[in-house]
Amino acid sequence: MDQQRFLAVLSEVAAVGQGGLQINEPGTSRSLKTLPSDWSDLALACLIHVGMVPQAREAVAADAR
């Protein structure tokens, strides 16, 4: 996945997450415009976490310079 698509997915998931994610409700599913299939709220929370790790590393590296 290229960087532009990666950021588009992360942005959409973050926007969905602003309304709150029901991570303890396994029956909930959402569809995204940027990724095929249906996703549970827990899976979306995991995507946010995994997606932010590289962003956080870059921020820490920039601060260290």
Q: What is the pLDDT of residue 23?
A: 92
What is the token pair recorded at 49? 């976490």
Q: What is the pLDDT of residue 41?
A: 95
Mean of the pLDDT values across residues 45-56?
85
Q: What is the pLDDT of residue 61?
A: 72
Average pLDDT, the chain: 88
Residue 27: pLDDT over 90: no
What is the token pair recorded at 65? 């310079």
Of 59, 57, 55, 25, nearest in space to 42 by CA: 25
Mean of the pLDDT values across residues 5-33?
92
pTM for this predicted structure: 0.76
Q: What does the domain layout of the chain look like in residue ranges?
A: 3-64
Q: How many CB atoms lie within 10 A of CB 21?
A: 19
